[in-house]
Amino acid sequence: MKKHVDFTLNDGIAVITMDSPPVNAFTDALHDDFCSTLATLAGQSVRVAIITGTGRYFQAGGDMNRFLTLKTLADARAFVELAQGFMNTIAATPYPTIAAINGYALGGGLEIALACDVRMASSSAILGLPEARYGILAGAGGTQRLARLVGPGRAKLLMYTGRQLTADQALNFGLVEHVSAPEQLLADSMAMAREIAGNSPIAVRHIKRCVDEGLDLPLERALALERDYWAGLIPYRDYLEGVQAWLEKRQPDYPDLPAHQDDSP
């Protein structure tokens, strides 16, 4: 049976690829295979994951035929809860995630990218949340994550109009962090992943959690959270390897974290 999402894992770097022609739409099959992939990776020592698509599409959003089956409020709530839960699962991965946006990332496709930590786009990519054109809104986290990323004014403009941005426009908009030539996107994403993976995995995970958990806190509480995460790193002793490597003018050699590591401070 064809897999709609598959992965490779080498040297702590996972590459998750959506391959569900023709447009990698958000179908039950893609959802189930993606969730299965994330569950499998949860049992592995992953330092960074790259999420990408095949062909001209990163992911083109929801399956339009599926929307026609939503007849009741209960149907609608069940569907949007499923979609939000899926994006939340991506966002909650303990390791950093890089969206390598190889092509069209519209609707749910952009919401997948927004659930990632870093977004790198091919210069041929097209990004947008066009839901208002179809009488709905970006209900899989799009309204909230986009506003937190680029600010409410820009987020509303993009969603009110349903505009589609080129990669360079998205870079200027603050929607992506890097633009690559199409043939260079995966190599650039791998280079970024290797740079991240070369650092202390527990420190990187603490940074991810500290930023994500502190975003909506008052500054005083967020700083207290930062203190807890900083102090919580000391028992792992990676800092000893980092300092020693600096003194010896070499690259540090940090150990992998065990699968299912509890990295709470």
pLDDT tens-digit map of 118-132: 999 999 999 999 999
Rounded average pLDDT over 166-184: 98
Q: Which of 81, 131, 177, 226 is catalytic?
A: 131
Q: Concatenate the DSSP letters of all residues of 42-73 into one string.
A: TTS--SEEEEEESTTEEE--B-HHHHTT--SH
Average pLDDT over all residues of the chain: 94
Q: Do 16 and 52 meet the contact criterion of CB atoms below 8 Å apart?
A: yes
Rounded average pLDDT over 222-227: 98
CA 10 to chain centre: 19
* pTM of full prediction above 0.85: yes
- Computed on alpha carbons and rounded to an integer, the radius of gyration of the chain in Å comes to 19
Please give the Cα distance from 140 to 87 (Å, whole number). Answer: 7
Amino acid present at 58: F
Name the CATH architecture for the domain at 5-197.
Alpha-Beta Complex (3.90)
- Could you tell me which of 68, 65, 89, 104 has the C-alpha nearest to residue 182? 104
42 is written with which tokens?
């949860």
User: Partners of 233 in the beta sheet?
Assistant: none
pLDDT at 203 over 80: yes
47 is written with which tokens?
């330092």
Q: What is the pLDDT of residue 217?
A: 97
The yes-or-no answer on residue 177 being catalytic is no
Q: What is the pLDDT of residue 263?
A: 65
pLDDT at 262 over 80: no
Domain extents in the chain: 5-197, 201-247
Amino acid present at 38: L
Q: What is the pLDDT of residue 214?
A: 97
Measured at the CA of 255, the angle between CA 258 and CA 259, to 5 degrees, comes to 10
Residue at token pair 């069940």: 78
Within the chain, residue ranges assigned H as helices are 28-41, 64-67, 73-91, 108-115, 142-150, 152-161, 167-173, 185-197, 201-214, 219-233, 238-247
Portion of the chain with pLDDT greater than 70, in percent: 97
The yes-or-no answer on residue 131 being catalytic is yes
Query: Residue 255 gets which letter from DSSP?
Result: P
Phi, psi (5° rounding) for residue 244? -65, -40
151 is written with which tokens?
């600010």
Q: Which of 111, 177, 213, 220 is catalytic?
A: 111
pLDDT at 264 over 70: no
Please give the Cα distance from 24 to 37 (Å, whole number). Answer: 16
Phi, psi (5° rounding) for residue 101? -85, 100
